[in-house]
Structure 1
Amino acid sequence: MSDFWRAMALLSRVPLPPVGDFRPAMVARSVWCWPLVGLVLAGLALLPAMLVETLSGSVVVFAILAVAAMVLLTGSMHEDGIADCADGFGGGLDRARKLEIMRDSTVGTYAVVALILCIALRLAVLVAAAEIGQAAILFLVMAVMSRSAMPFLMRVLPPARDNGLGKGAGRPDWLPVLVGFAMAGAITLFLAGFAAMLAVVAATALAVLTVRTVANWQIGGQTGDVLGATQICAELFVGVAFVAVL
């Protein structure tokens, strides 16, 4: 339970009692339950979205509210990550400059374009899933699988900085990483069936491989922003794969 509350405090803005001991080793140990945090957050985000869909009958409104609620619950930390990566990777000429841009709070053109495209694609896959009555299921699956992707990147890429979230989160052992991934796969199997589970597991692996390749090429490691970008990319890959299969 301490792992779960530590993970919830790290990955969300949900008000919680004080959670102590955020040493890198303890944060790294908690990655096995990150998919559970995604499940809880997605469940909370679905409540207002499904209520308004019932009242309005609009799947577009449902998708917008579900994404908006998730952004509020997470404090936009993952969106901030992919925005910073887009600015840094797109605007920096060398590794040092890329890392400097990623730490700058100024939002550039690359960040704006990345956020617009990512949010638009999230809405599009949810609306497409709604046409076959699977929007809520997809929303849960995206949240669960994408949070099982981040620990993989923490394991396979070293921190690019000597400080920051990428360093402070530690480098988890393979056991909690694989336990979390297996748990995410089991939840997906229960919610969506075997074919969807195979598709989204493959999509998650492809997302991790893609972000790992780009981040290693651009800055030689991972940061908190790269982990956030991993979550967003995994969500998008999973969403497309889910709709393609079902």
Structure 2
Amino acid sequence: MNVRDYAGDVARAVGFLSRIPVPQRFFADHDGRMTRVAGAFPLAGVVIAIPPALAFWMLLALHADPMLAALIALAIQAVVTGLLHEDGLCDTADGLGGGRDREHALSIMRDSRIGTYGAAALIFSFGLRAAALAAIARGLPPAAAALCIPAAGALSRGGLVWHWFALPSARSDGVAAAAGKPDEAAVQVAIVSAGLLSAFLLWPAFPLPPVVAGLLVTAVCSQLATIQVRRRLSGHTGDTLGATQQICEIAALCTLAMAV
């Protein structure tokens, strides 16, 4: 894969994972499958995180309260992504929390209504990420704190790709099934790029141990989510991909917050 192909994959990944407008020419001859494009997810995660990271940096530079700045940054991120991953987290929490068995859980996950488990998961997701970002902002200069957002974006998309690759599709239809499954080369690119991008972004502010800890904790959380989904659903869905991304992003930010 050359640089031009990878740049095209990044553009398609940004279009798939967010509401950022992407020129139609990137999709003109594309079949919609993410088999190779998944390798560009970590870099796409960095691109998607630029608006909330810039807002977080500017607010902190203007001496805004760290928690206020964190919540505004997360709100901007929600607008940019269209709450794609948060929706998956809610549906997965409702399905795994309320499902009697595999089929019942999958049925619940198809329901667009949010239940108690999903509401609690959403509250904890925003609460934990906001608290972690506020803690990071209190211990680091504004620019360094802001770089934690794209670093977590890269790591969490790498965890998403691993979850996607490690499990078969739980359904014959749905977004994840239609998009295909990442091939081995794409997974390798995603994992390596997630580690390198996050290390590059975090290195100016963090010594090596916290950076390594963030990588390891994110990897462990992705694997634990995969094990649980395999046990309950025997495969992934688009919702479990989003849930894995959220779990990994929370894990990465909380690990960094504890290291400040």
Residue 49 of structure 2 aligns to a residue whose secondary structure is helix
* Paired amino acid for 1:16: V
1:114 paired residue number: 121
Stretches of structure 1 lacking an aligned partner (at least 5 in a row): none
Distance 1:232 1:199 in 2: 18
TM-score normalised by L of structure 1: 0.94
Q: State how 1:205-216 maps to structure 2 within 5 Å.
A: 205-216=219-230
Cα offset, 1:153, TM superposition: 0.9
1:168 paired residue number: 178
Q: Which runs of 4+ in 1 moved over 3 A?
A: 20-24, 52-56
- Confirm or deny: 8 A CA contact 1:36 1:144 kept in the other structure: yes
- Confirm or deny: 8 A CA contact 1:78 1:231 kept in the other structure: yes
- Confirm or deny: 8 A CA contact 1:207 1:234 kept in the other structure: yes
Cα offset, 1:210, TM superposition: 1.2
- Confirm or deny: 8 A CA contact 1:23 1:168 kept in the other structure: no
| Cα shift readout 1:68-116 (whole Å, capped 9, x = no counterpart) | 1111111001000000011111111111111111011011111111100
Residue 27 of structure 1 aligns to a residue whose secondary structure is coil
Q: State how 1:181-200 maps to structure 2 within 5 Å.
A: 181-193=191-203, 194-200=208-214
- Confirm or deny: 8 A CA contact 1:85 1:225 kept in the other structure: yes
Single out whichever of 46-55 and 75-84 deviates more from structure 2.
46-55
| Structure 2 residue 111 is the aligned partner of structure 1 residue 104 | yes
2:240 paired residue number: 226
Distance 1:12 1:21 in 2: 20
Distance 2:121 2:108 in 1: 15
How many residues matched?
245
Distance 1:138 1:181 in 2: 18
* Paired amino acid for 1:61: L
Q: State how 1:11-90 maps to structure 2 within 5 Å.
A: 11-18=17-24, 19-21=27-29, 23=31, 26-90=33-97
| Cα shift readout 1:164-200 (whole Å, capped 9, x = no counterpart) | 1221221112221121211121122222233233112
**Are the structure 2 counterparts of residues 211 and 64 from structure 1 closer, same or farther at C-alpha, using a change threshold of 3 Å?**
same
Cα offset, 1:21, TM superposition: 5.0
**Are the structure 2 counterparts of residues 228 and 159 from structure 1 closer, same or farther at C-alpha, using a change threshold of 3 Å?**
same
Percent of paired sites with the same residue: 35
- Confirm or deny: 8 A CA contact 2:14 2:48 kept in the other structure: no
Stretches of structure 2 lacking an aligned partner (at least 5 in a row): 1-6
RMSD, aligned α-carbons: 1.5
- Confirm or deny: 8 A CA contact 1:185 1:197 kept in the other structure: no
**Are the structure 2 counterparts of residues 20 and 223 from structure 1 closer, same or farther at C-alpha, using a change threshold of 3 Å?**
farther
Residue 28 of structure 1 aligns to a residue whose secondary structure is coil
Cα offset, 1:131, TM superposition: 1.5
2:160 paired residue number: 150
| Cα shift readout 1:26-58 (whole Å, capped 9, x = no counterpart) | 412011111111111111222233333333521
Cα offset, 1:22, TM superposition: 5.2
Distance 1:105 1:203 in 2: 31
* Paired amino acid for 1:222: H
